[in-house]
Structure 1
Amino acid sequence: MSVVGNSGSGKSTLGRALAARLGVPFVELDSIHHLPGWEPIGVDEFRKTVGAIVDGDGWVIDGNYSAVRDLVWARADTVIWFDLPRRTVIRQVLWRTIRRGVTREELWNGNRERLSSVFRLDPQESVVRWAWTRHRVYRERYSRAAAERTEVEFIRIRSHKDAARLLKVSPTFRNKPA
């Protein structure tokens, strides 16, 4: 199962809950991609690591990385797409970034968000700005994919109520054989 959507939309929260319910590993692609000091992992190593994960029998993977999407979607039978309104995403990512900046919460490999990133204009330096600029990109990308990828079930989450309803049902899935 693949969970995609904008930063701060709720992918990780829902992904963790679904993985726990299904009894399968939960994997945040960010935790693999971001080495210490926010250095990106090399593409070959990223693909090798993700390839080994998706060869497993069951998993829930959270992330939008085009470098590994083909690997993940080749084995996933379900893609959950968070498509919340931009104002909701920005509100959520803003508060999350402020909380993480104040508490100095460690994310992955010693990396921490800085409170000052809220005020940066470069999307590469501000997750808030990234979420703003990527909203339309993701909506177009996943709308197109949902129409074209008929072998994969796309579940579009447009609200927190949609996510709560999804958690109430007992999803079952079998990743496609390698």
Structure 2
Amino acid sequence: MPDSPTRPRRILVTGTSGSGKTTLGRRIAVAAGLPFQEIDALFHGPDWTPRPSFVEDVDRFTAQDAWVIEWQYDTVRPMLAERAQLLVFLDYSRWRVMRQVTRRTVSRRVRREELWNGNIEPSLATVLTDHEHIVRWAWRTHALWPSRVAEVSRTHPGLEVVRLGRPRDADAWLRQAFPSEA
């Protein structure tokens, strides 16, 4: 990314699980020429256990001058908000998110796609038995994100927040924010 005082170089992407944070984060990183880190890859160790070095790994990555990462996990959200210049909020409808997270989960399970540190999506039947299953988690936490974003806007007035309500809004914003790169 060319040095520009008007373009943010420390960018967070947020929204509920399945909203497309990682996909948009990667697109922003490519368009802006910034390093990207998928935060779930830092959090999840083998057998879905939290990695002991998670907070230190996030600290190390975001101590750099420029980056893109998702704004997730209570233990690091405050640090990320302190360091970021821009928060991009994917505020998509619950139905869009549920369609996306369900499609993604089924696809990953059928393909037995490795996610992070040897982990794969569990059996699809676990959506009925596991309270923390990603599809159930997305449903349950969807309504929390607007208030979280409003709160961080109040507590970090220097943090620019961009709210995107649909994927086409994200596409348009990306073209506008990084016109020569996108």
What is the TM-score when the length of structure 1 is the normalising length?
A: 0.88
Letter in 1 for 2:23: T
Please identify runs of 4+ aligned residues in structure 1 that moved more than 4 A: none
The secondary structure found in structure 1 opposite 2:78 is helix
* Structure 2: unaligned runs, 5 residues or longer: 1-10
- Listed one character per residue, the Cα deviations across residues 33-71 of structure 1 (whole Å, up to 9, x for unaligned) are 0001101123xx222111111111111001411101122
Alignment of 1:1-178 (within 5 A): 1-42=11-52, 45-116=53-124, 119-124=127-132, 126-171=133-178
Measure how far apart 1:101 and its partner are. Answer: 0.6
What root-mean-square deviation, in Å, do the aligned CA atoms of Structure 1 and Structure 2 show? Answer: 1.7
Percentage of identical aligned residues: 38
Secondary structure at the residue paired with 2:124? helix
Distance in 1 separating the partners of 2:178 and 2:60: 24
Shift of 1:117: 5.0
- 2: distance between equivalents of 1:157 and 1:118? 31
| CA–CA distance in structure 1, aligned partners of residues 157 and 178 of structure 2 | 19
CA contact (8 A) 2:86 2:160 kept: yes
Distance in 2 separating the partners of 1:117 and 1:141: 31
How many residues were matched structurally? 169
- TM-score, L = length of structure 2: 0.86
| Cα distance in structure 1, aligned partners of 2:110 and 2:174 | 31
1:57 is paired with a residue whose SS is coil
CA contact (8 A) 2:81 2:152 kept: no
